[in-house]
């Protein structure tokens, strides 16, 4: 089995598609990307099925399956795509995922013999609606950015910002899967128990410190048996792909409830992911060595291996933007609030997988990990309002004259992500957007 970072003909930056929009500069979905989602025609009542993004269209993999364009393992992989979730494909394993990618790349490249026939399986993206890409059985949220952990720790615990375990293990809590929604999600401002400053008793109130968290979502492909840890050198074999994740957070609820067992109701009211899952194969050209500062503890052996050191990190650019109700009314574009990169993460994906299973915990196809809020080393690279406004003390000034400390009703938050590197195609994640409604 080839390592996940192997490049092949599907990554060739010179490849072009017969779908013209896929060849436009800046397009998130060139033929080198081929992310997967679950969709149907908007308002149609059709069954949801899997699709692959190409340019401004979705290739309907249910319809493609009827044309039997592939042989061998690709056929089996494509048959799994007629389902209303990616779980069956995820369970088939990496060789099937690679066969599907190669088959799609051949079908969609310029000069493909059956292009005319395949064109009938394209649906414009503006005419589709998405559902969650997978049935997510379990959601675990990590805390892998040391810059975020330190900045938040300073606000919640000025005396001890970074707890002693942080540099030894990828910290996480078990999140709530039932309230995860796909991009376009709308939710009411949550109520919760809060302890106002100086008060003697807590009260139940709508959250006044509602925040976003800019995260990378990691979707598990093949699982492991209960009692069988995944060794770090094999960890990425179990990862299907990545998406964008907004882990909405009620900071006032969180501040009062989080000790001693961690976040609970401050997080479980909504989480929003992007519809498109970018496979680990598509991300192979953008891998980077994973490093740890020499003055920090080096990872314990179960969290370290040679492939991690040579290519365990990922050069994935991330951006969060805000569209207020006033901006929307004025037809103004969403305003970017911060930009950072997943390469700054203190812990890598493979380490999250190895640590999660070291006790024998079984992962299952479709399980979701959150990377934790990704903040870079500088203050303007912060992935949450908590950090960008220094705990609400320094309001952000928006272009239309508005200000924000935390989110207001009608605010829409948009996450974006993309990879680019000289000599490689630029590929994007689309977006994950969600809107806060009045309580």
Eight-state DSSP code of residue 17: B
- 3 state SS of 420: coil
Q: Which residue is nearest to Mn ion (CB)?
A: 247
- For residue 213, the minimal CB distance to Mn ion (Å) is 4
d(CA 63, CA 114): 14
Regarding 252 and contact with Mn ion (CB under 5 A), the answer is no
Q: Left if phi > 0, otherwise alpha if psi is -120 to 50, otherwise beta: which for 144? A: alpha
Of 58, 70, 131, which is closest to residue 101 (Cα–Cα)? 70
Regarding 141 and contact with Mn ion (CB under 5 A), the answer is yes
Number of residues interacting with Mn ion: please give it, by CB under 5 A: 3
A 10 A CB-CB count for 379 gives: 14
Identify which of residues 272 and 389 has a Cβ nearer to Mn ion in the complex.
Answer: 272
Regarding 247 and contact with Mn ion (CB under 5 A), the answer is yes
- For residue 143, the minimal CB distance to Mn ion (Å) is 7
Query: Contact 239/353 with Cβ under 8 angstroms?
Result: yes
Eight-state DSSP code of residue 7: -
- For residue 411, the minimal CB distance to Mn ion (Å) is 18
- For residue 248, the minimal CB distance to Mn ion (Å) is 9
Instruction: Give the HSE-up count for residue 393: Cα atoms under 13 Å, Cβ half-sphere.
Output: 4
Identify which of residues 60 and 247 has a Cβ nearer to Mn ion in the complex.
Answer: 247
Regarding 213 and contact with Mn ion (CB under 5 A), the answer is yes
Any alpha helices (H) in 299-411, and if so which ranges?
Answer: 306-311, 325-330, 349-357, 385-388
Scan residues 142-181 and list those touching Mn ion (CB under 5 A). Answer: none
Q: Which stretch binds Mn ion (CB under 5 A): 2-10, 91-99, 212-220, 293-301?
A: 212-220
Residue from 147, 148, 344, 355 carrying the catalytic annotation: 148
Q: Which stretch binds Mn ion (CB under 5 A): 140-148, 184-192, 270-278, 346-354?
A: 140-148
Instruction: For residue 191, indicate whether it is catalytic.
Output: no
Regarding 387 and contact with Mn ion (CB under 5 A), the answer is no
- 3 state SS of 392: coil
- For residue 321, the minimal CB distance to Mn ion (Å) is 19
d(CA 429, CA 369): 17
Active site residues: 148
Provide the binding-site residues for Mn ion, judged by CB under 5 A: 141, 213, 247
């Amino acid at each position: 089995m080839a390592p996940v970072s192997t490049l092949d003909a599907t990554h060739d930056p010179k490849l072009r598609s017969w779908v013209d929009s896929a060849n436009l500069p800046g397009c998130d979905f060139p033929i080198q990307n081929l992310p997967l989602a679950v969709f149907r025609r908007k308002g149609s009542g059709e069954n949801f099925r899997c699709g692959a993004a190409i340019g401004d269209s979705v290739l309907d993999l249910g319809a493609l399956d009827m044309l039997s364009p592939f042989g061998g393992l690709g056929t089996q992989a494509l048959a799994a795509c007629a389902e209303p979730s990616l779980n069956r494909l995820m369970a088939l394993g990496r060789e099937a995922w690679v066969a599907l990618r190669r088959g799609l790349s051949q079908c969609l490249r310029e000069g493909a013999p059956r292009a005319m026939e395949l064109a009938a399986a394209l649906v414009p993206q503006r005419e589709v609606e998405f559902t969650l890409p997978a049935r997510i059985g379990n959601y675990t949220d990590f805390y892998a950015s040391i810059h975020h952990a330190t900045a938040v720790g300073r606000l919640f615990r000025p005396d001890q910002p970074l707890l002693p375990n942080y540099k030894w293990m990828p910290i996480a809590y078990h999140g709530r899967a039932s309230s995860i929604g796909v991009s376009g999600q709308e939710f009411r401002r949550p109520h919760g128990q809060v302890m106002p400053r100086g008060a003697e008793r807590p009260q139940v109130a709508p959250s006044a410190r509602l925040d976003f968290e800019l995260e990378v979502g990691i979707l598990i492909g093949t699982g492991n048996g209960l009692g069988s840890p995944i060794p770090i050198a094999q960890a990425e074999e179990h990862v299907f792909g990545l998406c964008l994740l907004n882990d909405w957070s009620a900071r006032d609820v969180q501040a009062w409830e989080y000790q001693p067992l961690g976040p609970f109701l401050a997080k479980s009211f909504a989480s929003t992911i992007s519809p498109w899952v970018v496979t680990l194969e598509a991300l192979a050209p953008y891998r980077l060595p994973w490093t740890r500062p020499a003055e920090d503890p080096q990872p314990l052996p179960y969290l370290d291996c040679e492939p991690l050191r040579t290519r365990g990190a990922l050069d994935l650019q991330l951006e969060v933007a805000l569209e207020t109700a006033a901006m929307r009314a004025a037809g103004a574009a969403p305003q970017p609030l911060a930009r950072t990169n997943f390469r700054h993460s203190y812990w890598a994906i493979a380490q999250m997988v190895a640590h999660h299973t070291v006790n024998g915990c079984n992962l299952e196809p479709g399980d979701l990990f959150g990377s934790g809020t990704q903040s870079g080393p500088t203050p303007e690279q912060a992935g949450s309002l908590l950090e960008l406004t220094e705990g609400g003390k320094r309001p952000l000034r928006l272009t239309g004259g508005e200000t924000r400390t935390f989110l207001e009703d009608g605010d829409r938050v948009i996450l974006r992500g993309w990879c680019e590197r000289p000599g490689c195609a630029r590929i994007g994640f689309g977006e994950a957007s969600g809107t806060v409604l009045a309580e």
